[in-house]
Every structure is written in C-alpha cells, then in structure tokens.
Amino acid sequence: MPTWNSRGLRGSTLEEFINRTNEKYAEHGLALIQKVPTPITPINIDKATRHITLAYFDQKSTVDYIGAVQGIPVCFDAKECHTDTFPLANIHPHQVQFMEDFEKQGGISFLLISFTHKDEFYYLRHQKLMEFWNRMETGGRKSFRYEELEKDFFLKGKGVILVPYLDGIQKDLEIRE
C-alpha cells in the first residue's frame, strides 16, 4: 500500500504554480478550476505540530484538477519530468480512463507536464496522450520523447500567469473544430 510520505513532495512546485495560475484566472473570471484533494487516512500525527507524518491513500484518485473554463468542463493532471523521456508508467490506467470518460461527456482533458530540466511547461492534448497510450498498449514504447511533442503546445509564461494552460485549451479547441 503506498503511503503519503513515500512520495515526498513530488510535483509540489508545479502544483503551486498551477494553483497561483488558477487564482489569477478566477480573479479575472476566465476559469474556475479547483485542486482535487487526494483522500488519505492518517496513520501517524505529530502531536506537537498536529501535522500528518504518515498516511495511506484511501482510494485511487482521478485527476489533480477539475472545473470549468467559460462554460466548458475541464480536467487535467499535473506531471513533472526531469529528462527528455516521459514514462507512461507515471500515468495510471484509472486516470486515463477517467479522462477518456470525461471527454465522452463533452469535456476537455489534458496533462500539464513540467520539463523541469528545460524549465518548460507543456500542454499534452488528450488525443495525443491516447496516441502514446495506445502505442504502449499494442506493444510499442512505454514512454514518449520530448521530440515527439507538438511544438505549438509548449506554454510561455505571461507575467503573473505562470502556467498559461488556457492558451493550450484554445489551441486544442481550434484543432477539434
């Protein structure tokens, strides 16, 4: 059973950037996106600080964020990558299934990937994710390479908007039309 402290604070910087971006989008009435809390059961609690020091996950989580952008349902997961190769093992089958079902209901799902070693953010469209996923499922590569990504979906920061994923959504919508 995986435990909370075994995973450390992976992705915490990316999530903080996304949370700040979400605050700015909400302030300007552009989007309402919330972090989905991961349900945990505490095992050890530090009595002095009242902080949870060990816990286990109650159930599989779906995605990190969910909400609406100008009336469009949106869900996405945030991932960090420290090399030019992203292992698909970093995405769980239940997450892919949730995003697939979300798309079937008329929503938009995607991954936000931080290539930390390049200081770049990438919007991975659901359709492109499924190309990589299906390739893996049929015996192909169990990862994708930086070079395989669509160049138009790298996100450029805009001042206080640290991870401008609305730009990715806009391009994604244009491709779908």
152 is in an annotated binding site: no
- Residues 15, 103, 93, 117, CA torsion sign: negative
Which residues lie below 8 Å from residue 8, measured CB to CB, with a gap of 6+? none
**Does pTM surpass 0.85?**
no
Residue 102 in contact with residue 115, Cβ under 8 Å?
Answer: no
For residue 152, the domain's CATH number is 3.40.1350.10
58 is in an annotated binding site: no
Give the CA angle between residues 66, 73, 15 to the nearest 5°.
25
Long-range contacts, stretch 23-32, CB < 8 angstroms, 24+ apart: 24/160, 24/161, 25/69, 25/161, 25/166, 30/69, 30/70, 30/166, 31/67, 31/68, 31/69, 31/70, 31/74, 31/166, 32/67, 32/68
Banded model confidence at residue 6, pLDDT cuts 50, 70, 90:
very low
Cα dihedral 141, 83, 116, 74 in deg (nearest 10): 0
Q: Average of pLDDT values for 116-121?
A: 93
If one counts every other C-beta atom within 10 angstroms of the C-beta of residue 31, the result is: 19
Amino acid at 41: T
Q: Which domain holds residue 106?
A: 4-176
64 is in an annotated binding site: yes
Number of domains in the chain: 1
Give tens-digit pLDDT for 127-176: 999 999 999 999 999 999 999 999 999 999 888 888 999 999 999 999 98
Give tens-digit pLDDT for 15-64: 999 999 999 999 999 999 999 876 666 667 777 887 767 765 555 668 99
Whole-number pLDDT of residue 158:
82
Q: What is the DSSP letter of 71?
A: T
46 is in an annotated binding site: no
Q: In what order do the strands lie in the sheet with 72-81?
A: 31-35, 65-69, 72-81, 108-115, 120-125, 154-155
